[in-house]
Amino acid sequence: MSEQIVTVRNLKAYYLMESYGIERRVYAVDNVSFEICKGEILGIAGESGCGKTTLVKVLLGIIKPPLFVMGGEVRYAAGDGKNILTLREEEIKGMRWKIMSYIPQGSMSVLNPLRKIKDTFQDFMEAHQPDIDRTSFNNIIKEHLLSLGLPLEVLNLYPHQLSGGMRQRVTIALSTIFKPEVIFADEPTTALDVVVQRGVLQLLQKIQKQSNNTLVIIGHDMSIHARITDRIAIMYAGKIIEMGDTRDIFSIPLHPYTRYLINSLPRIGDKSYKTSIPGTPPSLTDPPTGCRFHPRCPKTIYICSKEEPPLIEIKDGHKVACFKVSNGGEN
């Protein structure tokens, strides 16, 4: 395994809410440990409401009430290996966009509709690199857009004049302008159609290849993960339940949930009957005991509802949290 760029250990991040004196806890990220390697494309997959976005928020150091980190650590190799959860807000601000960057989901709500793309870029650079003058700003912006293959004429337009795909690509250009080490993309292609989706994903791949940085893609669509990621982490109800090389996960999925996710995907040229996962996603305020998937699992055994399965490495970095597999069962 190559050099680790981000290490996450035993991370617990809960939403604490109080109404009428009753405290409610949402266990959005519960005891998650993993690492991100340099130069890889990592996918984080799972249903909506499984804690993917919360995990990314914590990794970026955006922790605002009602979200609280209850324990664990997040270390960036580029940030001198300090635990960012103990840093002050100003110190994290210095790292953001340069070490870690974020591509948000809705590009329309990111770009100011009243300002031209050029102005948005300039505002952004002035706020984060105040020591550079305006002409070199413009040069950096132009160079960056050209290297990504985007037309320079977009700079003089307003966001509403661009198509949805172009807006999303401008947003990507904006958040990668300081050549960050790690880029987090949260559902970068939801609400885009297939052709545009491909364009956006290929742009992300291009950026990753050009500057050899690390890309983390968060999304519920397994077919996108199959296309571009090197490794996948599958999240279910606040926990990572399976993690490994993309090819391994697709050829030999170990966890029953992963198997459902992969088998439910329709393909062209295949009209055989596909089913969804039975049941509904669990509530994170009151997650099931033991293995959180056991109420929906077709292969549950006695121990599943009693104890929580640990994430165990089965083979070459392929890890799974399932008693059926770890007890040496035929899975």
Partner 1 sequence: MNNDRLLSVKELTKIFRVGSLLFKKDLIAVNKVSFDIANQEIFTLAGESGSGKSTFARMLLGLIKPTYGNILYKGIDITKIKSAKEWLWFTKEVQPIFQDPFETFSPLNRVDTYLYDTAFNYGIAKRKEDVYKVVEEKLNAVGLSLKDIQGRYPHELSGGQLQRVSVARALITEPSLLVADEPVSMIDASLRMSVVNLFKDLKERFGLSVLYITHDLATAYYISDRIGVMLRGNIVELGPVEKVLNEPLHPYTQILKQSIPDPDPESRWEEDIQLSAFDIKEFTMAGCKFSNRCPFVMDICREKEPHNILKDERTVKCHLYSQSL
* Min separation Cβ 172 and partner 1, Å: 13
Closer of 1 and 195 to partner 1 (Cβ): 195
How far apart CA 299 and CA 324 sit, in angstroms, is 8
Strand pairing class (67-76; 231-236) = unpaired
**Contact status, residue 235 vs residue 241, Cβ threshold 8 Å:** yes
* Min separation Cβ 240 and partner 1, Å: 16
CB neighbour class for 82 (10 Å; exposed up to 12, middle 13-18, buried from 19):
middle
Exposure string (b/e) for 225-258, b if CB count within 10 Å is 16 or more? bbebbbbbbbbbbbbbbbbbbbebbeeebbbbbb
How far apart CA 57 and CA 105 sit, in angstroms, is 13
Closer of 88 and 271 to partner 1 (Cβ): 271
How far apart CA 119 and CA 123 sit, in angstroms, is 6
* Min separation Cβ 228 and partner 1, Å: 7
Closer of 98 and 198 to partner 1 (Cβ): 198
Binding site for partner 1 (CB under 8 A): 47-48, 149, 151, 154, 161-166, 191-199, 201-202, 220-224, 226-228, 246-247, 250, 260-262, 264-271, 273-277, 280-281
Phi–psi pair at 63, nearest 5 degrees: -120, 105
* Min separation Cβ 309 and partner 1, Å: 20
Closer of 135 and 275 to partner 1 (Cβ): 275
Which residue in 191, 192, 311, 188 sits closest to 241, CA to CA? 311
Closer of 128 and 220 to partner 1 (Cβ): 220
* Min separation Cβ 98 and partner 1, Å: 28
Helix (H) or strand (E) holding 169, with range, is helix 164-175
* Min separation Cβ 1 and partner 1, Å: 19
Closer of 26 and 154 to partner 1 (Cβ): 154
